[in-house]
Amino acid sequence: MSKLLVDEIGGNAAADTTIASGKKIAGTASQFKMTDVVQGDVLYGSAADTLSRLPKGAAAQVLSMNSGATAPEWAATAAGGGKILQVIQSTKKDTDSTTSSGTTFVDIAGTDQDAAGSVWCVKITPAATSSKILCTYTATCGTSGSATVQLRLVRDSTDVFLADAAGSRVTTSSIAGVPHNDAMQSSSMTYLDSPSSTSELTYKVQWAAISGHTVYCNRSLTDTDSASYQRSASTITVVEIGA
C-alpha cells in the first residue's frame, strides 16, 4: 500500500501522505481514520495499491470468498462440509390413484410442505450453489391385482435418479411390488442430489402403473371400511447439506 488518507498523523491535520516502501506508521489505531468506513466494515485490496470497503454483513453471516475468488463477501453459512442447513418435509395422508402406465409417469395429487398447490412435492431454495440436497421418500401403494407400482424422483421437470436404460424395460427410481388386492407396499429411496442452484427447486415423486392396472397411494384396491383394512401415509423429505 503506497498511499493512505488519514485524519491525523502525529497530531497534524488530515492530508494525503505518501508512505515510503518498507516504512511503518507509528501510533495507536484510534489515530488513523477513514471517514467513509463505519463500524463492522471490512477493508480489502480490490486491485494493486487500491483499498475497497465491504459493508458489514447481517447477524450470523460469515465472511467468504466470491465465486470468482476475487473479493470477500458475506455468506449465510460457514465453510465446511457436512453441515445441515435446512430440512423440509411434505406429508401425504390422503389417497390418490392413476391408470397412467408404461413410461408415462404422472404427478401424485397433494400439496407442498405449506399445504399449497395440487401436487405432492417439497419446495426448497438452497443457500449456496455448492450445497447438496439429500432426498428421501417413502410412498405406500396398492394395486389392482398382483402388480408393480413404478416410481420416479423428479426435480422440477428433470428425472434425477433412474436406472440405466436397458432395452424396452421401464427405468425407475424405485418400485413397490403389491401381492394382491387387499395389500399395500411401501417403497423407500434415498438420493444425494447436486443441483448447483440457489433458485427454488421442487422435488416430487411421479408414478405409473403396469399396463392394464390401477395403482393407489395410501390405500389398497379393496379398501373395505373395516378393522381388517388399513390406510397409510407417505413422506418426501429434503435436507440441504453445506459443501
| Predicted local distance difference test score (pLDDT) of residue 220 | 97
When pLDDT is cut at 50, 70 and 90, the band that residue 132 belongs to is very high
Average pLDDT of the segment spanning 2-11: 45
Q: Which residues of 14-24 are buried (b: 16+ CB within 10 A; e: fewer)?
A: eeeeeeeeeee
pLDDT tens-place string over residues 180-219: 999 999 999 999 999 999 999 999 999 999 999 999 999 9
3-state per-residue secondary structure call for 52-94: EEECCCCCCCEEEECCCCCCEEEECCCCCCCEEEEEEEEEECC
What pLDDT score was predicted for residue 168?
Answer: 94
Q: What is the pLDDT of residue 190?
A: 98
pLDDT of residue 35: 72
| Residue given cell 405409473 in the structure block | 208
What's the mean pLDDT when you consider all of the chain?
88
User: Is the confidence at residue 75, as pLDDT, over 50?
Assistant: yes
- Cα–Cα distances in Å, from 41 out to 8, 51, 62, 193? 20, 12, 13, 36
Model confidence at 26: pLDDT above 70: no
Query: Which of the listed CATH numbers 4.10.91.20, 3.40.50.2300, 3.40.720.10, 2.60.120.1340 matches domain 83-242?
Result: 2.60.120.1340
Q: Which of 22-26, 42-46, 151-155 has the weakest average pLDDT?
A: 22-26
**Is the pLDDT at 150 greater than 80, yes or no?**
yes
Domain boundaries of the chain, sorted by first residue: 3-75, 83-242
Digit-coded pLDDT (tens) for 52-61: 889 988 887 8
Q: What is the pTM of this model?
A: 0.68
What pLDDT does 78 receive?
53
Which residue shows C-alpha cell 501522505?
Answer: 17
**Residue 216 vs residue 2, higher pLDDT:** 216
Predicted confidence at residue 160, as pLDDT, reads 96
> Which string of DSSP letters, residue by residue, matches 111-129?
--TTS-SSB-EEEE--S-T
CB contact at 8 A, 126 and 240: yes
The C-alpha cell at 55 is 459493508
Q: Does pLDDT of 129 surpass 50?
A: yes
**Closest by Cα among 178, 177, 171, 203 to 190:** 203
